[in-house]
Amino acid sequence: RTKELEEKLSKLKVSPNKPLRSAQWFDRADDRCMSSLYLERYLANGYTPEELVSNKPIIGIAQSGSDLAPCNRHHLTLAKRVREGIRAAGGVAIEFPTHPIQETARRPTATLDRNLMYMSLVELLHAYPFDGVVLLTGCDKTTPACLMAAATMNIPSICLNVGPMLNGYDKKDLVGAGTVVWKARELHAAGEIDDDGLIDLVTRGSPSVGHCNTMGTASTMNALAEALGMALPGSAAIPAPYKERSQCAYRTGQQIVEMVQNDRKPSDIMTRKAFENAIAVNTAIGGSTNAPIHLNAVAKHVGVPLNLDDWDRIGYGLPLLVNMQPAGQWLGEDYFRAGGLQAVMAELLDEGKLHGDIITANGKTVMENVANKHTWDRRTILKYSYPMLQEAGFLHITGNVFDSAIMKTSVITEEFRQAFLMNPKDPNAFEAKVAVFDGPEDYHKRIDSADVDERTILVMRGAGPLGYPGAAEVVNMTAPARLLKKGLKYSLPCIGDGRQSGTSGSPSILNASPEAAENGNLAILCDGDILRVDLTKRRVDLQVSQDEIEQRRKKLLAGGGYKMAPSQTPYQDIFRREVGPLAEGMVFKKAVQFQRVAQN
């Protein structure tokens, strides 16, 4: 540890005499009457005065699991161990429900609820007597929502992931949650499996409690929470049913009490260096394309500048080290046994690709947390010098159809390369015609009749934060059934203003801003237009003159602009009024002005 770090740490410690935040409710010297009112119902339900009026840390357990949210439902069990850890360390637990989010069932899209869960969690943490909080994370958007709330509230906070499911199998073959859906859809479209076969295959990917067992958005965001230092080291990858997961729940409960005692807050942990670590980690694990949206959102709420150029500059050139679906072969149990994130971070740290000197939730540095944690299993976590893939991060792409979009290049297959990129003069660029779809419903209706061949770029618009409120996970489009039946061996390239599932393997340029619904230039594309995609220059350009672009824009605006479907609920309407673009994290613009509420 550097002297500077030691000094910083000693400043963090709160004096034992400083009253806790919860005393403003339960132990007000200036107003015993108020305190009696605040205490009454908690005492009525069995808490004792010794627990609530004795300067013991009151720890919230933000429960995100329920029957409605099966990915996180195992937290109903884990929370008991969290409570026991809190109690053993001298704290008092108060468990409460958060707004539920279930990625697979929430219509029109679960991202809509990320900001709602964030807002409601901030309200709860602000309004009630919490000295610290254990955030029970898991399914895709629950983790960023929790981190965003921790950032805004800035009271001691720690994440506990629910953990991935056990591996799924179809006979001897590994079947990953989420990734199998794309495969099953293709087999179904090609007539190789029937309706029952479809359900059977899809459900084989999800054999137990827990979140997706692939490196989708859930595994990614929980890895990034750990990389940021907001979860115990080694915690993210433990499968949900394993004994280590319950043990980790207990230790997380103990840890939060220590964090309150030492006043270690999110703003002490989530520094610029921590975000840079998380970007590097995201490349090495083959993290989801949703990560830049969510991490940029967390950064915005904690007040750390972070943008997509940072992702390209820090993350693109790093290698993919984790051999896990969708970019690789294995699943969550293999990754955990191989050492999980600590092993990945040990590898990156050796190469000088991480900041090792920053503090994490347990009061130790990154360097201390990953010391001697290298993997023993080189088929699952590869050597930095012998990776799955070089330059595996995201490209930040601009051009004349959008200002900003990202592309995950680690899923580009050799077959795709052969079909699209193998012009020897220009191995990193291609031109192709587009087929344009206005939202997922239009795509499903027309994909089989649209003019699409083996070299068509599928464009999805009207699927951004405004267009399909919340931004639909629909940019990964499959080719028409007739091409699949002919044996098309690669995914067609996709471009769009929506998102892509973290478990998808298509080479897509997504999260494009400004979106069509904001009258971005995606709105002026027509079927048959030629786009030039140049990955070296990081550009996508419509091959028409600037004059033609101006003409099309005039026509679009004269016609009242890009047409959006009306909002279906009051919240959708509020969301559309308040939200910013995907490139900037899709946060509520006014919410980021409320950084560190708790300190004010």
Decide: 405 and 512 in contact? Cβ < 8 Å: yes
One-letter amino acid at 399 equals G
219 binds Mg ion (CB under 5 A): no
CB of 144 to Mg ion, least distance (A): 12
Tokens at residue 587, please?
């946060």
Distance CA 511, CA 402 (A): 10
Q: Which of 136, 139, 149, 358 binds ligand FES (CB under 6 A)?
A: 139
The b/e string for 67-80 (b: 16+ C-beta within 10 A; e otherwise) is eebbbbbbbbbbbb
CB of 244 to Mg ion, least distance (A): 25
Decide: helix, strand or coil at residue 166: coil
151 binds, among Mg ion, ligand FES, none (CB under 5 to 8 A by kind): none
Decide: 520 and 132 in contact? Cβ < 8 Å: no
Q: Which of 211, 251, 461, 552 binds ligand FES (CB under 6 A)?
A: 211
Tokens at residue 122, please?
């901030």
- Helix (H) or strand (E) holding 528, with range, is none
Which of the 8 DSSP states describes residue 583? G
CB of 504 to Mg ion, least distance (A): 9
Distance CA 126, CA 148 (A): 14
Window 54 to 73, contacts with Mg ion (CB under 5 A):
none
Look at residues 133, 111, 68 and name the one whose alpha carbon lies nearest to residue 288. Answer: 111
Window 319 to 338, contacts with Mg ion (CB under 5 A):
none
211 binds, among Mg ion, ligand FES, none (CB under 5 to 8 A by kind): ligand FES
The DSSP secondary structure of 374-410, one letter per residue, reads --S-TTTB--TTS-SBSS-SEEEEEESS-SEEEEEGG
Decide: helix, strand or coil at residue 176: coil
CB of 71 to ligand FES, least distance (A): 3
Look at residues 291, 287, 211 and name the one whose alpha carbon lies nearest to residue 245. Answer: 211
140 binds ligand FES (CB under 6 A): yes
Distance CA 295, CA 139 (A): 15
212 binds ligand FES (CB under 6 A): yes
Tokens at residue 530, please?
């030629």
Decide: 396 and 309 in contact? Cβ < 8 Å: yes
178 binds ligand FES (CB under 6 A): yes
Decide: helix, strand or coil at residue 58: strand
From 211-219, 247-255, 414-422, 504-512, span contacting ligand FES (CB under 6 A) = 211-219
Tokens at residue 231, please?
């979860």
Kindly determine how many residues on this chain lie close enough to bind ligand FES according to the rule CB under 6 A. 10
Q: Which of 26, 78, 103, 506 binds ligand FES (CB under 6 A)?
A: 103
Distance CA 382, CA 377 (A): 8
* CB of 211 or CB of 461, closer to ligand FES: 211
Q: Which of 501, 508, 513, 521 binds Mg ion (CB under 5 A)?
A: 501
CB of 189 to ligand FES, least distance (A): 22
277 binds, among ligand FES, Mg ion, none (CB under 5 to 8 A by kind): none
Neighbours of 350 (CB within 10 A): 14
113 binds ligand FES (CB under 6 A): no
Q: Which of 27, 113, 131, 140 binds Mg ion (CB under 5 A)?
A: 140
CB of 64 to ligand FES, least distance (A): 11
Kindly determine how many residues on this chain lie close enough to bind Mg ion according to the rule CB under 5 A. 4
91 binds ligand FES (CB under 6 A): no
Q: Which of 104, 208, 307, 400 binds ligand FES (CB under 6 A)?
A: 104
CB of 451 to ligand FES, least distance (A): 34
218 binds ligand FES (CB under 6 A): yes
Distance CA 600, CA 577 (A): 27
98 binds, among ligand FES, Mg ion, none (CB under 5 to 8 A by kind): none
410 binds Mg ion (CB under 5 A): no
217 binds Mg ion (CB under 5 A): yes
Residues that bind Mg ion (CB under 5 A): 140, 217, 501-502
Residues that bind ligand FES (CB under 6 A): 71, 103-104, 139-140, 178, 211-212, 216, 218
